[in-house]
Chain A
Amino acid sequence: MTTYPHLLNAPIEEAVIAFSVNLPKDFQVKDLLSIKDSIKEQYPHEKEIKTAGYKLELKNNAFIPPQLLDEGLIGYLFKSTDEKEVVQLRLDGLTFSRLKPYTNWDDILKKAKNLYDIYISKIKPNSVNRIAVRYINHIKIPKSEFSFSDYIKTPPTVPAGLPQKISNYFSRMVINLEQDIVANFIQAHEVDKKDNLPIIILDIDVFKTKDFETDSSEIWSTLERFREIKNKIFFNTITNKTQELFL
């Protein structure tokens, strides 16, 4: 296993471990609340999750601004007292998020595993059909004039002969890895409106779609593999100069 430098102030805005499941046919969204008593001590703040669609309407052959459509209850969200940890129980699965400041992989995996065990015992899904690890990194560049290549090894390129100033940038690639593991890798850039400093977001979502037995140890070994992959993507994307910002 490759080792990477430990970043004391890692720019991780959010770390997510997610499990999508197949629920029994007669399962109702309210049944998700059977977990509530088991987690309310650690995650006392509850919200309903409603799915929202954007209704696009045509008028005179042009779309009017999208309207938010409330499409009903699909789950519940529970937050820890400090609101840094969030559990989402939805009709399509369980998601655990750690918001900044990041702790460490062992900590979030342990918490996700604890929640998963409760989820499996209470909800009894038929199987797990997708597992994922997503890390969203928020890199604030300390000066407004900068060159992408100083900070990331895969910079956007403006054609020669044009002004080289980029104000917004969004790129998404889907990388097919070994054993049907897939990584969605998004790079986005914009300027922070508060201080006018540039931000580069590196959003790495590594996942595998497969029917796992709910007690399969493969789930946990695969998540460990996801961690290695997301580290590889991250550290092979940032430059030494970027690393130094977070040491």
Chain B
Amino acid sequence: MTDTYYQSDMDIPNSYVSKGISDDAIKISELFRKFREKIFLDNITLGEPRKEALGALENIYKECSINNWDGYGSVSINIHSYNNARKLIETLPISIPIPEATIDPDGNIAFEWYRSQSKIFTLCLEGYNKIIFAGIFGNKRIHGTEDFDRDIPDLILYNIKRVYK
């Protein structure tokens, strides 16, 4: 029987992935998590949009955590996708609106930033760390894949901001 060591990617987002294992490394992670909860969640101005988005995500988690949650053979929520959705909600810059999460029949969480039919950006969090994205900006259509290992990738942030330009 192999022992298990639990590690959280949520403790220190934004480029902080040189994962230490000493007591002090764990202490720093814990301090950061508490700090983030205090600043971003226990706070109306900064925290309320995130609180609402996390609440909506939580409802999806509850409703879609078993297979066939829609009666049409859908797959239960992908736990990595769910976790990355939380990370995305918690690390989006405060200047960017947080849309409500949706779930696709494969169990992956998706977000869409919509301003008009010619300004849309949507992303889906797939597998362990993939972001599949697509956007319409006027006559231009884009799509692609990015890794979501630590920061929200610059390309993703750039395209979300384009929706509101």
With a CB–CB cut-off of 8 A, which chain B residues contact A18? 17-19
| A-B contact number at CB 8 A | 137
Task: Give residues 89-106 of A contacting B (CB, 8 Å).
Answer: 90-92, 95, 97, 99-100
Closest to B59 in A: A58
With a CB–CB cut-off of 8 A, which chain A residues contact B82? 53
Known: A16-B19, A54-B33, A92-B129. A136 touches B80 (CB 8 A): no
Would you call B93 an interface residue if the criterion is a C-beta within 8 Å of the partner chain's C-beta atoms? Answer: no
A94 to B28, CA, bound (A): 21
Output the least CB separation between B79 and chain A (Å): 5
Interface residue from B16, B17, B22, B37 paired with A92 (Cβ < 8 Å): B17
Q: How many residues of A contact B (CB 8 A)?
A: 56
Output the least CB separation between A237 and chain B (Å): 16
**Which of B6-14, B117-125, B131-139 forms contacts with chain A?**
B6-14
Q: Are B28 and A186 in contact (CB under 8 A)?
A: yes
Task: Give residues 1-43 of B contacting A (CB, 8 Å).
Answer: 2-10, 14-25, 27-28, 31-33, 35, 37, 41
Q: Are A203 and B149 in contact (CB under 8 A)?
A: no
Would you call B164 an interface residue if the criterion is a C-beta within 8 Å of the partner chain's C-beta atoms? Answer: no
A31-67 contact mask (Cβ, 8 Å, vs B): 1 or 0: 0000000000000001111111111111001010000
Hey, which bits of chain A sit against chain B, CB under 8 A? 13-14, 16, 18, 20, 22, 46-58, 61, 63, 68-72, 74, 77, 86, 88, 90-92, 95, 97, 99-100, 130, 132-134, 136, 138, 170, 172, 174, 182, 184, 186, 188, 190, 201, 203, 205, 207, 209
